[in-house]
Structure 1
């Protein structure tokens, strides 16, 4: 390794920012308020963009969450680098377009609305807006995201089909004055007058018309089920159960792993036990889908999972830390058939997990090490009951018991500690990375190698560039 001391510090700073951009959403956490989260994120974005501008855009390939991805894209579009080499600028453009294609449309429209409000009107911004909008079903977006599409189209001077333009920019009376050729826009026009036409609309649009026409909830849910998205059906599943609708709206076999874990935790322990076979089968299948081609390829792995009281999360992110721990439990089992899970509470039934009690992390970590794993994955906010004991024990283990690093240990934190600012670390001997989505667990374990101090900035830059190039090829 030829990196200087300054390069090693820059590598550490970049990993610090990566951890924040992966785990923090600027919302309230169990141990911190929203204002501190936002202030910490603002500082880190400004610092990394100012000191490592060539690597700032590459953060988009590290599976940063949508909140921070939108912030990175905003910074790149509103503060372009004229001095950037052509290949870097081309890579930036590709990463921006690729990430916007993967983000929820409502978040993209919020980003475009912010750019329009701030009058960011350079050529690249207009081109990005036009290209993204060109790939959308505009009649659907006109219904669901009317204000966002209108602001973006006006700002970027995007030519729209005549009917969409009439729907977006005309007065209400003019919008409803004559029929539309688009079936969606026509259904919207007719739903103002007849309840039967609202069932041809997307669920989020039809719900307002159902209230307007005073349609009974059970009747509406049964009629609109085919038009609801997978996420909407999952959110409405318990309501459907209460109204006695059969079969339930949600198809658990197709739900993503983390969302399925959140759904399971929202059920009472008695409901989970009553539906054990159904839920465990759905969780196992979701984990195998998430693991993909990596299923069964990991060496013996031990997972240490935090289900203490702090895994309750906050009002804004209810049970999010526990849902991530439950998702990692199932994903590690899919990745490593010989894995073992060690819950902080000592529980052995993951399906009935609930946030309760203190956080004695040292005990399950030692239990995990006794199983002889090649890899230990700790999923916890890191707020241990006896932090000096935990830190000293892990440092001693790394220096005296396993100096050759035959066992890899990584700490994945679902919570950002805005006061540090960093995730709350277990020990200097264990790299800590933020965690927002269990689907990226394998790549986070790979990234953790750079937090052990053995690899520096040049290796990290090479890793990011190679990952970005692969990412762009897969999206082409």
Structure 2
């Protein structure tokens, strides 16, 4: 806190940081230590509290690396309460909402539009935002086939004129959505393929994979033959997902025709962890090279600039996550391992897994969480930066990590020669925050490892050495960059 900050400024900054950590980490789904309803209740309170008390900063959080779930909730909250905003706030919010919708997956946006219709949000501003987004879609006929109910709901809500008046069939898209069966055929290839797929197996191959799956089941097509035929029409993620379904027989082959290095880092780590130990071992060099290549790309201009880095990485049993977020915490730790290796100076990176493992490619969720012991080991190397990637449940013995960090900060390193940051991939619903290790150590929520450099910058505001004015200036810079088209790094592959 600086000399010019008031107590109210400090409280506001802490509240906003609390919300940002939640918006990055929480998705309303079950975590290892909390149920889905607890997550949802906690998020409901935080969204309403921050929107009512700090509306400008609530909207500005759209410019940060928050997850899709909370981005959609913020957009809905701002549109539902437009009457509470000033004219200037509405202009800024409109630009932020448009920029965020352009980055969200289309299925998430259509789900948001259905929620707005259910909430009876139908003011002129909302209709304009929805119309602009629909007008930006590259092919509404594709959306009509793949997101049929979503597009129909949105078109009805904003009274969208469907079709091209200059074409020979100006109303066929509207007929397809609202009067199916009226036309004997459609001029658009996808629309007509959908019509023919009801009775013609050959037309199934012309449809998007997720739509074709339903028709394949209807026609009784064998799964293996269907998947082979659909490979040319699958997205990269669909190929990986179907390969995972097909490799349950214990095979060790990787999917053909998929270049892993184009995947986002955390998603690649999730994919690697989904493979059996035999597959990982058989393709060790290829998988390791893919992870390192992706990590170097994610590091960007920061590569090699962090000096000596030590990392404490949590692969305890709780890193298995939950049924909805399987192995997500462990995947974040694995991705952070390769990213920190790229960020550190050459040969100046020391990884320490809580299980004692020395082979990152074969890590698995196992055992207790001896964070205190591993932090002591890491500090012995005298790093410039210590990064702890853990859900914060230090239990071997309980509380040792916090005590080690307290003594280190107050007695051993009061001048802060070593920067310590804790990033936590799990949201703690009861505390409305991510679990912390020690008051003296800044903690940030994390969902994607590639956001780590930006999160370290956010975490410095939690140390108390940077004032509220600096936080506001940081948010203003992020908003300006975001609406100008230079926002947070895209997570890649979030679309269709």
Fold-level match, TM-score > 0.5? yes
Q: Is the 8 A contact 1:240 1:248 kept in 2?
A: no
Task: Name the one with the larger helix percent.
Answer: 1
1:120 equivalent in alignment to 2:121: yes
Write the deviation string for residues 322-361 of structure 1: whole angstroms up to 9, x where unpaired. 0110011111112223222111111110000000000010
- Aligned match of 2:217: 211
Taking structure 2 as the reference length, the TM-score comes to 0.92
* CA distance in 1 between partners of 2:248 and 2:25 (Å): 35
- Aligned match of 1:191: 197
**RMSD of Structure 2 on Structure 1 (CA):** 1.8
- Report SS of the residue matched to 2:386: strand
* CA distance in 2 between partners of 1:183 and 1:335 (Å): 48
- Aligned match of 2:81: 79
Q: Is the 8 A contact 1:234 1:249 kept in 2?
A: no
Alpha-carbon deviation of 1:211? 1.2
* CA distance in 1 between partners of 2:478 and 2:85 (Å): 23
- Aligned match of 2:268: 260
Q: Is the 8 A contact 1:237 1:249 kept in 2?
A: no
Q: Is the 8 A contact 2:240 2:255 kept in 1?
A: no
- Aligned match of 1:33: 35
Q: Is the 8 A contact 2:99 2:485 kept in 1?
A: no
Select 1:406's aligned residue among 417, 421, 426: 417
Q: Which moved more, 1:272-281 or 1:329-338?
A: 329-338
Alpha-carbon deviation of 1:475? 4.8
Alignment of 1:108-257 (within 5 A): 108-136=109-137, 137-161=139-163, 162-171=171-180, 173-174=181-182, 177-240=183-246, 248=256, 250-257=258-265
- Aligned match of 2:482: 471
- Report SS of the residue matched to 2:387: strand
- Report SS of the residue matched to 1:376: strand
Q: Is the 8 A contact 1:433 1:448 kept in 2?
A: yes
- Report SS of the residue matched to 1:342: strand
Alignment of 1:355-374 (within 5 A): 355-374=365-384
Q: Is the 8 A contact 1:22 1:436 kept in 2?
A: yes
* CA distance in 2 between partners of 1:262 and 1:247 (Å): 15
- Aligned match of 2:328: 320
Q: Which moved more, 1:115-124 or 1:380-389?
A: 380-389
* CA distance in 1 between partners of 2:300 and 2:229 (Å): 35
Select 1:442's aligned residue among 453, 457, 469: 453
Alpha-carbon deviation of 1:214? 1.8
- Report SS of the residue matched to 2:357: coil
- Report SS of the residue matched to 2:295: helix
Unaligned runs of 5+ in 2: 164-170, 488-496
Alpha-carbon deviation of 1:71? 0.6
Unaligned runs of 5+ in 1: none
1:92 equivalent in alignment to 2:93: yes
* CA distance in 2 between partners of 1:381 and 1:247 (Å): 32
- Report SS of the residue matched to 2:439: coil
* CA distance in 2 between partners of 1:81 and 1:437 (Å): 35
- Aligned match of 1:383: 393
Q: Is the 8 A contact 2:30 2:322 kept in 1?
A: yes
- Aligned match of 1:429: 440
Q: Is the 8 A contact 2:272 2:287 kept in 1?
A: yes
1:452 equivalent in alignment to 2:453: no
* CA distance in 1 between partners of 2:142 and 2:331 (Å): 32
* CA distance in 2 between partners of 1:374 and 1:310 (Å): 29
* CA distance in 1 between partners of 2:248 and 2:404 (Å): 50
* CA distance in 1 between partners of 2:85 and 2:366 (Å): 54
- Report SS of the residue matched to 1:321: helix
Taking structure 1 as the reference length, the TM-score comes to 0.95
Alpha-carbon deviation of 1:400? 1.4
